[in-house]
Every structure is written in C-alpha cells, then in structure tokens.
Amino acid sequence: MSSRKGQRDAARVVREQLARERRRRRTIWVSAAAVVVLIIAGVIGWAVWSNQRSDSFTTPPGANAEGTGIVTGGGPVTVDVYEDFLCPACKQFEQASGSTLEQLAAENKAKVVYHPVAYLNRFSTTDYSTRSSAASGCAAAGGKYHEYAKALFAQQPPEGSAGLTDDKLIDIGTSVGLDRGSFGSCVKDGTYKSWTEHVTEDASQSNVTGTPTVKVNGQPVENPTPDALTAAVAAAGK
C-alpha cells in the first residue's frame, strides 16, 4: 500500500509541476502578445498623429511657400532668422541687428524669413513661447508682424515666469495698430498654435539647436552682428 501511495504522490507532484510549467508558458505568451499589441498600437498612433500634425496647421498671410516663416523683402539672398520671444539673447540680437535686417530687406539685398520658434516653453509655466509665437501669426494676419515682434521683445517677460497673459498679448497688438476684435479672437482661439508647432518642428529638422540662429543662404552666421550680416549677404550675393 505504501508503495502505491508513494507512486500516486510522485505522479501528483509531476502533474503539478507540468501544470505550473504550462501556466508559466501561457503567462509569458500572453505578456508577449500584449507587448506586441501595445507596440503596434503605438506605431499606428504615432503615424496618425504625425499625419495629422503635418496636414492640420494654418499658415498666416506673408509666410514663405513652406509655411515655416514670415517673409520680408525680395532680394536674391535669403536670410533665415530663428527666434524665440522668451529668449533674452534674441531680444539682444533684435536690438543690435534688427534694423540691419530691415535695411537689407528694404534695399532688396535680401529676403529675410523670420521663424518664431517655441523652444523655451519649459522656461515658463504657461507655454509662453508657443502662445507668443502663435500671437505673432495673428499679427502677421493683420499685416503687423514686425511691429508686433518688436513690441514682444520690448516687453519680454523673465524666464521662469508665467509669461504675459493672452490679454496682455492682445493689448500689445492693439498698441501697434491691430484690430482688437479680430486680433483678440485669433489669439484667444489659438488659431496659429498649429503653425507654431510646424515652424518649431521644421527648425529642429534643419538642425537649429538654439536661438537666435541666423543663416545666410543656408549657412550659419556664427556671430550675427550688423557688420557680419552685411558682409555675409554681400558675399552670398556675388
């Protein structure tokens, strides 16, 4: 009897081990299948999101053909200027070289393309870089991009703050001659936030890693002082 009982116990132990092994393999396969499903869903979701981003932005009047910046002037040399309205160095650049760029455009020596990127959202608590860039698109729609950009830099909030409120952005717009009704609605509705995303993404893909960045016919100008900009445009125009 004890021999048969021992055999039954041994058989039971083997069955339990086999059952545990089957459960372990089943758990592994279920987990692996779940991971595959999540990966597939992620890839599909990213593809849908990417397609929606590339096709859903609204471009303001005055933008270039690619919809990545606001154009002034029509000279043979292209000057691309990448700026963030929260960037202190951009404010300094505009104060030092902004009038030189305006003169180069006015004299038809250069086509200047301003790209208002949103690189510094992490330095405000309200995504100020995005909001101010989108508001500049509203200003472009009202024919006052440059006047508005200057005013934004003149009243630039400190990094780490909440930035200017939408109401303040609207006040600045009216101070440079924009219609409060249409401009205000544009800012409040975030009409050009999708455009800001497009401008910023294109800048990143163009290897723009910081602001201000200035390129003359695609070549970076390391120290874009007025003299350096004038010389670079002259050399590129020969």
Q: For residue range 165-184, list pLDDT tens digits in order.
A: 999 999 999 999 999 999 99
Tell the burial category of 2 from Cβ atoms under 10 Å away from its Cβ (0-12, 13-18, 19+).
exposed
Q: Give the residue among 205, 124, 142 at the shortest CA–CA distance from 178.
A: 142
- 238 three-class SS: coil
The average confidence (pLDDT) of the chain is 87
Q: State how far Cα 15 lies from the chain centre.
A: 61
What's the average model confidence in pLDDT over 186-194?
A: 97
How far is 149 from 155, CA to CA, in rounded Å?
A: 10
How far is 120 from 109, CA to CA, in rounded Å?
A: 32
pLDDT in tens, 69-97: 999 999 999 999 999 999 999 999 999 99
How far is 144 from 213, CA to CA, in rounded Å?
A: 22
**Terminal-residue alpha carbon distance, the chain:** 108
Position 238 scores a pLDDT of 80
Evaluate if residue 200 carries a pLDDT over 60. yes
Collect all residues with Cβ–Cβ distance below 8 Å to 58 and sequence separation of at least 6.
Answer: 191, 192, 194, 195
How far is 81 from 69, CA to CA, in rounded Å?
A: 9
Q: Give the residue among 99, 109, 40 at the shortest CA–CA distance from 73.
A: 109
Which amino acid, 112? V
**8 A C-beta contact, residue 103 and residue 140:** no
The label of the residue with tokens 């009897």 reads 1
Question: What single DSSP character describes residue 79?
Answer: E
Q: Give the residue among 88, 66, 90, 87 at the shortest CA–CA distance from 78.
A: 66
Evaluate if residue 53 carries a pLDDT over 80. no
How many beta carbons lie within 10 A of that of residue 92, not counting itself?
12
Name the strand (E) or helix (H) holding 199: helix 193-205
Domain ranges of the chain: 1-56, 70-236
What's the average model confidence in pLDDT over 186-202?
A: 97
Domain 70-236, architecture per CATH: 3-Layer(aba) Sandwich (3.40)
